[in-house]
Amino acid sequence: MLRFLARRFVSLLVVLLALSLVLFLLQSLSPTDAVHMMLGENASAAQVAHMRHELGLDQPLYVQYVRYLGEVLHGDLGISYQTRKPVSADLAQFVPATLELGAAGMVLAIVMGTLFAVSSLAVARWAHLLTGVYRNLILALAAAPPFLLGLLGLILFYKEWGVLPASGRIDDQSFSGPTGFMLVDTLAAGRPDLFGNALQHLLLPALAIAIGPSLVIGRVFASSLRGTLDFDYVRTAMAKGLTEGQIVRRHVIRNASNPVLSLVGLQIGAMFAGTLVVENIFGWPGLGQYMSRAIGTNDFPVISAVTLILGAGYVVVNTVVEIVQAGLDPRLRLAA
């Protein structure tokens, strides 16, 4: 297992390095000239040349890359053209919001996916004539894009019934806490009322990004459960006289969960993409809003930094998934 962990760790580093290289190259190939963006259109040639030297842009590409890498490792992600503040400072403000939304979405997706899986098995078992109807219903929902679901949620829960708020993370704008995670901070501050309020704000956007992935997860989980139930070792367990509950808990869930975990890791990507849109709909002050503003103004340091953060998050999550899978299935430790 230690060797397995070491290998996963090394390959994680390699992928992150490759990611940084790609981002760096994109940045240097970009038609947007950093110097012009910083100095404006009316700068003189001398000013531009001076700035180029200052930024090290007159040096060979590999020297620039090594410096870029050093800066990233020290947490220096450049200055936003637009806000004129260090990108890292902006990120410290926006990352927790997006992380909170993403984590809530993931938890919801897993919980709902499991429910879908179990219910579709139940439907197949007790009302197998309805199986097709149920499957198509799920397929239709899975095909709906997050922004549509978000708008639908707003219309129903905010406009029609008025039970959930439409935007922001919390009603009390003055509240802030050390971690930036509203649910954590409100609890830490001993304010259950604010916790409830933050939860209400979180619910709709989290649902909007979770529904698609949850259905995909549910479908794969259901077929994985079905496949696992057909395995000989399930019959063996039954022949030992174990109860149905014992069989499912000890022999089925663990073996059925591996393909689902791969999928959860991959769906994280879809969810990040979802947050970029959904944050705009719900006025959620996170990376998505930050990013869409940056795209509009060609704010390349920001675009590159957010991409780096999201990419790194994706890679790290998938590495964690692989490690968990190896923990669940000893055969995977050998294959690595």
Which parts of this chain interact with other proteins (CB under 8 A)? Answer: 125, 229-233, 235-244, 250-251, 254-255, 328-331, 334
Shortest Å distance, C-beta 256 to other proteins: 10
Shortest Å distance, C-beta 251 to other proteins: 5
Element (H, E) at 117: helix 87-126
Q: CA 299: distance to chain centroid?
A: 22
Nearest to 34 by CA among 299, 296, 297: 299
Residue 95's alpha-carbon distances to 4, 98, 269, in angstroms, are: 31, 5, 16
Shortest Å distance, C-beta 100 to other proteins: 33
Closer residue to other proteins in complex, CB, 75/227: 227
Shortest Å distance, C-beta 327 to other proteins: 10
Closer residue to other proteins in complex, CB, 309/326: 326
> Is 294:306 a contact under the CB 8 Å cutoff?
yes
Closer residue to other proteins in complex, CB, 53/250: 250
Shortest Å distance, C-beta 330 to other proteins: 5
Nearest to 137 by CA among 219, 210, 55: 219
Please give the Cα distance from 307 to 291 (Å, whole number).
Answer: 9
Closer residue to other proteins in complex, CB, 36/250: 250
Shortest Å distance, C-beta 238 to other proteins: 6
Which residues fall within 8 angstroms of residue 265, CB to CB, at 6 or more apart? 317, 318, 320, 321, 322
Closer residue to other proteins in complex, CB, 84/331: 331
Closer residue to other proteins in complex, CB, 193/230: 230
Nearest to 99 by CA among 268, 220, 264: 268
